[in-house]
Amino acid sequence: MCGRYLLRSPVDALRRAFGFVETPNLAPRYNIAPTQAAPAVRQRREPAGERTIQLLRWGLVPSWAKDLTIGARLINARAESLAEKPSFRSAFRKRRCLVPADGFYEWRAEGKRKQPYLIARRDEAPFAFAGLWERWTPKEKGTGPEFIDSFTIVTTDANALLKPLHERMPVILAPSDYSRWLDPDATIENLTSLLRPAPENWLEFYPIDPRVNAVRNDDAKLIEAVGPHTAALG
């Protein structure tokens, strides 16, 4: 699964990686949590193929939802059931996005406590989770924003490297697959092959301070290692 992640790369590096047209003012985020706003990259039909980045609410709120509370339960979407689940199937067909990240967190029970770990690319490059997005319109007008765009992160089985931490992991797309994932005309059959675990040699992990457990903590010290990288776990 993916319940917290970080995005600290400079905007210029993110533009090179994801090709969006804006130059947004994005502050480093070290502890992005559900229901918070976070950047997502989408593709416009006109101009054809143009990519754009905006802040979306993390936790998918389907268009038919009564209110926003459902989003807290839909922060992740299982790849195996995207095409069937009512909450995700329409977005899977029509509204896909890239969720930029520099790493994500997972917790492992060790004795009487849970030790947090940071998982990131070995080359420290930013990467993209496969995401879905939806637009929700409040039924009562004049009480808030006209609409709210939200997203969820697609998950799959963990690869061999990460399985000791958790049985699931987010789908991390290869840069060469970004265009296919964003293509509004891509078929379900053409997309399904992308929903696989990332290769083990892309990633590393290491233990970090439990301060990351508290959402209010959001600083660079959260990602400092307190133990060896990619430690062997028994």
Q: Give the structural domain span for 117.
A: 5-223
pTM: 0.95
Residues 6+ apart with CB under 8 A from 68: 57, 61, 136, 148
In sequence order, what E strands does the chain have? 5-7, 29-32, 37-43, 51-58, 76-78, 96-101, 103-110, 113-121, 127-136, 148-157, 168-170, 172-173, 203-207
Residues 97, 107: Cα–Cα separation, whole Å: 26
What CATH number is given to the structural domain containing 117?
3.90.1680.10
Which amino acid is it at 30? Y
Domain-located, residue 82: yes
User: Beta partners for 42?
Assistant: 52
- Pair of tokens at residue 127: 């990467």
Q: Which residues are annotated as catalytic?
A: 2, 106
Which pLDDT tens digits describe the chain residue by residue (234 residues)? 799 999 999 999 999 999 999 999 999 999 999 999 999 999 998 888 899 999 999 999 999 999 999 999 999 999 999 999 999 999 999 999 999 999 999 999 888 899 999 999 999 999 999 999 999 998 777 666 789 999 999 999 999 999 999 999 999 999 999 999 999 999 999 999 999 999 999 999 999 999 999 999 999 999 999 988 885 555
Cβ–Cβ under 8 Å, residues 52 and 24: no
Would residue 198 count as lying in a domain? yes
Q: How many domains does the chain have?
A: 1
Question: Would you call the peptide bond into 47 cis, given omega within 30 degrees of 0 as the criterion?
Answer: yes
Q: Quick check: is 139 in a domain?
A: yes
In a domain, residue 231? The reply is: no
